[in-house]
Amino acid sequence: MKGKVFVTGYAKLPQGITASEMYHVICLGLLVDKKTGIVLDAECSLVTSLAKRVFHDLVVNKDLKKINDIEKEFSEVYYGSAKKALISALRTCHEKYIQI
């Protein structure tokens, strides 16, 4: 794990969606190359495996230092009810990485 960092982000989910009934908050975990900022692996607490896979594919191999680029692509592709919460949690991950 040398040269890698694990950052997490949480955000409140909107009421009335399945994930909020189960978790109340969205949790993201990102494994990031400490030197380059590239996301090596990602996981989130969405309910369906497809939603988890879409999230994973949208952030893995992206540069966490370029959060605006990640948010833009995410906003263009993901139209689920948890969109705002996911973006908020991604920003938290970005802020934690920058602090490192």
Q: What is the DSSP letter of 9?
A: E
Q: Which residues contact 21 (CB under 8 A, 6 or more apart)?
A: none
**pLDDT greater at residue 17 or residue 87:** 87
* CATH (domain of 18): 3.30.390.50
pLDDT classification of 7: cutoffs 50, 70, 90:
very high
Q: Which of 16, 13, 15 is nearest to 46 (CA)?
A: 13
Report phi then psi at 32, rounded to 5. -125, 140
- Judge whether residue 23 has pLDDT over 60: no
Query: What is the share, in percent, of the chain residues with pLDDT greater than 90?
Result: 67
Summarised one tens digit per residue, pLDDT across range 27-46 is: 899 999 999 999 999 999 88
Identify the domain containing residue 89 by its residue range. 4-99
| Entry pTM | 0.88
Domain total for the chain? 1
Nearest to 57 by CA among 39, 34, 82, 45: 39
CA pair distance 83, 81, nearest whole angstrom: 6
